[in-house]
Amino acid sequence: MKYRDRALKPTASATSSQLIAAARALSNRVERLPFRLPVTHTYNPLTYAWKAHEEYLRRFGGRRKRVVFLGMNPGPFGMAQTGIPFGEIAAVRDWMGIHAAIAPLAKAHPKRPILGFDCPRSEVSGRRFWKLCADRFGSPETFFTQHFVVNYCPLAFLQASGRNQTPNKLPMAERERLFQVCDEHLREVLRILQPEWLIGIGGFARERAELVAVNQKIRVGQILHPSPASPKANRADWTKTATQELIQLGVWE
């Protein structure tokens, strides 16, 4: 991945301002949702990492997009640390040029502290995904001209052991309340960005994309999730696989 050592000059637009307002509303709504065992810790990076997330929306969300990529929820060493979807630290800091202060989290899991850009761990999913974008488009300005990346759910869930709990494994009542809020936010993002394509990164994201985009003039597709928990992603060259999938869909040439 080609990184750069300069920061972008922040820009603002009606589109990015709408995305910022939608993200604030989402954050406020999910903050009020209760979650019970086996979830012991819930992280909302739209609160403690808001400065970085707002900068991401302001810099790169300033126009309509042709393609929106949809992830599931924050990873412990990605968005949970940086506030950016698939937010692998080196990609966010060195490629995107974002390096904002991350507020301390009082009730963090001892095995998953929030260290922000000082976190020594790398998020494999984010490293793979943003490498794909950097290799194909070079600069973030070029990539974000027609593309954008959002997560379906802004919350990260941890069990007592520190193990990640994915949103689709929450108890039904909690899941339904959460999904209602997240569906409404995704609809608002699609209204703002008016994309031609909504691409789920993995099966869960594609399923939510199909439900939310129904009766809209938006084409939905899926690429293989870059998670190291995916045997297929580990066996194959993920960048090559995802590129081929996007070409076959007609998203990329």
Query: Per-residue pLDDT for 4 more than 60?
Result: no
79: containing domain:
29-249
236 located within any domain: yes
Residue pLDDT, tens place only, 9-36:
444 589 999 999 999 999 999 999 999 9
Query: Per-residue pLDDT for 5 more than 70?
Result: no
Which pLDDT value is given to residue 26?
98
Query: Per-residue pLDDT for 3 more than 70?
Result: no
211 located within any domain: yes
Residue pLDDT, tens place only, 198-240:
999 999 999 999 999 998 899 999 999 999 888 898 988 999 9
46 located within any domain: yes
15 located within any domain: no
Residue pLDDT, tens place only, 46-85:
999 999 999 999 999 999 999 999 999 999 999 999 999 9
165 located within any domain: yes
7 located within any domain: no
Q: At which residue do the structure tokens 């910022």 appear? A: 20
Cβ atoms 20, 57 nearer than 8 A: yes
161 located within any domain: yes
Taking CA atoms, 180 is separated from 4, 64, 151, 172, 208, in Å, by: 39, 25, 15, 12, 11
Residue 17, classed as helix, strand or coil, is: helix
Dihedral angle, C-alpha 111, 115, 121, 126, nearest 10 °: 110
Q: For residue 159, what are the contacts with CB-CB under 8 A and spacing of at least 6?
A: 38, 39, 40, 165
Taking CA atoms, 169 is separated from 47, 86, 172, 174, in Å, by: 24, 20, 8, 10
DSSP string, 155-203: -EEEETTS-EE-GGGS-HHHHHHHHHHHHHHHHHHHHHH--SEEEEESH
Residue pLDDT, tens place only, 145-165:
999 999 999 999 999 999 999
Residue pLDDT, tens place only, 95-132:
999 999 999 888 899 999 999 999 999 999 999 999 99
191 located within any domain: yes
- When divided into structural domains, the chain yields a total of 1
**Which residue, 61, 49, 67, 52, is CA-closest to 16?**
61
What CATH number should be reported for the domain holding residue 96? 3.40.470.10
